[in-house]
A and B are shown apart, each in its own frame.
Chain A
């Protein structure tokens, strides 16, 4: 079945980086975009960035510009989100989601990866 499976929970110290993976299966990876969204405790969903899995084009939220990098490995059908300069406010669940054309509604979601930033 169509699914996105993310890597496991992470605990990081302030200033460190984290890299979360998102492995796609059940569909042609390069035909869809992958979005990254996070949700801090009790907060609304927040879009971080997007990658066109076909050509590798990316776009990032200005809020995370300079700190976030989204990449993909087409041979592994996997997208990655790396966030650097972690601070306590980055403690959140991070989700990847598939963009469903033509409007790119998020029709398939990963299970989420909890990232905790604590000294």
Chain B
């Protein structure tokens, strides 16, 4: 199974900050990497697919990059509604696997 490792597991940031979250795959997954946002008690929401393609309706302050084994999710200027948990997921091969999540909290 492909192991997905995210860092950090949590971070504190202020409104307006630039935030970067990293995700590393245990083997190359080309660009088969997706990012989700999840708020407490809610289902995940797709933000980025294929490593860098913004899902329809997602604000442009979210961006993704990377290929192979190393990927990043960047929020250019944090808004209050962005405080949530972010998870990466590889869709390169079965079993589909997810990272452990990064909780973005208010400083």
Contacts and interface: CB of A to CB of B under 8 A. Distances in A.
Interface of A: 35, 44-47, 50, 59, 61-63, 95, 97, 100, 103-107, 109-112
Question: What secondary structure prevails in chain B residues at the interface with A?
Answer: loop
A62 B97 CA distance: 12
A45 B45 contact: no
Contact of B44 (A50, A103, A104, A106): A106
A44 B44 CA distance: 11
A105 B95 contact: no
B72 interface: no
Interface residues of B, number: 21
Interface of B: 32, 34, 36, 43-46, 49-50, 55, 87, 89, 91, 94-101
B49 A44 contact: no
B43 A109 contact: yes
22 contacts: A35-B96, A44-B87, A44-B100, A45-B36, A45-B44, A46-B98, A47-B95, A47-B96, A47-B97, A47-B98, A50-B96, A61-B94, A63-B95, A95-B43, A97-B43, A100-B49, A103-B34, A105-B34, A105-B55, A105-B89, A106-B46, A109-B44
Contact of A103 (B50, B98, B99): B50
